[in-house]
Amino acid sequence: MSRPAQTFPDISSELDVRPLAVHIGAEIHGVDLTRPLPSQQVADIRAALLRWKVVFFRDQQLDHAQHVAFSRQFGDPTPGHVVFGGDQQFPEIYSVAKFRTANTKLAEDPRRPWSGWHTDITAAVNPPYASILRGVVVPPYGGDTQWTNLAAAYQALSEPMRAFVDGLHGIHRFEVSAGTSATRDYDEHVRNRRLETRHPLVRVHPETGERVLYVSPTFLKSIPDVSAQESVHLLQMLWEHVVRPEFTVRFKWEPGSIAFWDNRSTAHLAPRDIFDAEFDRQFYRVTLLGDVPVGVSGEASTPMAGDRIRAV
């Protein structure tokens, strides 16, 4: 069966876009995010985001208000975190601190190549379409974040495997993962805000037409279309596949750095090495309201527990 062509909007030659890897990631220079952007720059940044999946900016000293204002030029912000809450004064802002409620501690270190990789809030029926993260307190070394291109990962599957996964679904759930020990605050937040959704295993990107392997390792728990044993082995194979280095980019943060990623076509890995050093790390994030994923057959995701994410 033929697949629809992938389409990416043109990027103006005036925007300084510097790719960092073959499949994903580019730095954008020559823009001032502290001020409202001209409409052409907004369009070009969005085009770069669709093409490169995650774009980075350097030396942007934004405060909370400017962070929110920049984000609103690209969509409607959600609450800082639909499970863990946000800033009291700026409800769109979520504090990504070194030690925060959302952290869990690994027990007996059951690490796998895909451990910690995730796409933001896929347990919701309409996950955020994008996330915008800014670094304020940045370690002098360590603390890098990685992203992977889930559309490139899909294309790299064999044709029979693509045809197979096109028709499957996955159950995404927000819960304390096996092999972790959660704090009481974490457990209470998760119990009080249950989120569970049946998503297509392959979603069609609503703007580019790409097919995306929608297999967020942290939130995807099972494939109900196959047996339990088949589900375990298939998920492990797909998770190992999507984090292959050739699909990824690794970003070294500096104070004032900003990462803006397409949550519909990427997964990312927050650093664990910061817990092996004394350095502090304080970042802030805004997420933008997303749509309900649609699979190859046109079937939309189905909520199983919890409400849709709403705009702030």
204 vs 214, 256, 303, CA distance in Å?
9, 33, 18
Determine contact, residues 165/230, Cβ cutoff 8 Å.
no
Candidates 249, 290, 197; CA nearest to 22 is 249
Q: Which one is catalytic: 46, 203, 268, 281? A: 268
CB burial string 20-52: b at 16+ within 10 A, e below: ebebbbbbbeebebeeebeeebebbbbbbbbbb
Q: Which of 118, 194, 198, 250 is an active site residue?
A: 118
162 annotated active-site? no
285 as an active site residue: the answer is yes
Specify whether 81 is catalytic: no
HSE at residue 84, side-chain half, CA atoms within 13 A, is 20
Catalytic annotation, pick one of 44, 81, 120, 166 = 120
Annotation marks residue 268 as catalytic: yes
Element (H, E) at 190: helix 184-192
Strand pairing category for 282-288 and 94-97: antiparallel
> What is the distance between the alpha carbons of residues 204 and 4, in angstroms, rounded to a whole number?
10
Nearest-angstrom CA–CA distance, 199 and 73 = 28
The closest alpha carbon to 289, from 68, 103, 127, 150, belongs to 127
Q: Which residues are catalytic?
A: 118, 120, 268, 285
